[in-house]
Amino acid sequence: MSAAPGKDLAALEALAGMVFEAELARLDALSRALADRKADLAALDGARRKRAEALAGDCGADDLAFITGQDARWSGWLGRERARISREVAEIAARREAQRLRAQTAFGKRDALRMIREREAARARQVAARVAE
């Protein structure tokens, strides 16, 4: 160890803090991506509800999309799109959980280094106080 272990610990703590901040930034990005994809799902569900309400009154008798079969094609696409986005939501949620664990570990390392540095600083103050007596 060098002549100034407190400075080494402070530098290591600062590095651990940077790592923690980077892990938090990655976690935040994944959280935003997850929220965006969930919003996409909600929009699809809203479109499906809106279309169902439009067809509810006259069962589509006057609706050109319904009569020509385009409504069924759209409904099929909607189901496939919803399934695709649901898979993405599950994938992002899994990546977010893994990132949350990495951020938690980085926080623990940073916090442990802070406690060690504080303990070493207290010990150095005690030694300095004894020398001063």
Structural domains counted in the chain: 1
pTM of the model: 0.76
Spatial CA neighbour of 65 closest among 73, 76, 77, 56? 73
Rounded Cα gap, residues 107 and 100, in angstroms? 10
Residue of 133 and 85 predicted with greater confidence: 85
Q: What is the mean pLDDT of residues 100-126?
A: 94
Rounded Cα gap, residues 104 and 98, in angstroms? 10
Cα angle 13, 115, 25 (rounded to 5 degrees) comes to: 45
* Structural domain of 81: 5-132
pLDDT digits (tens, 9 = 90+) for 46-103: 998 988 777 776 665 566 666 666 778 888 999 999 999 999 999 999 999 999 999 9
Rounded Cα gap, residues 79 and 49, in angstroms? 13
Whether residue 9 contacts residue 116, with contact meaning beta carbons closer than 8 Å, is answered with yes
**Least-confidence region, from 8-22, 65-79, 112-126:** 65-79
Q: According to the model, what pLDDT value does residue 70 have? A: 76
pLDDT digits (tens, 9 = 90+) for 31-49: 999 999 999 999 999 998 9
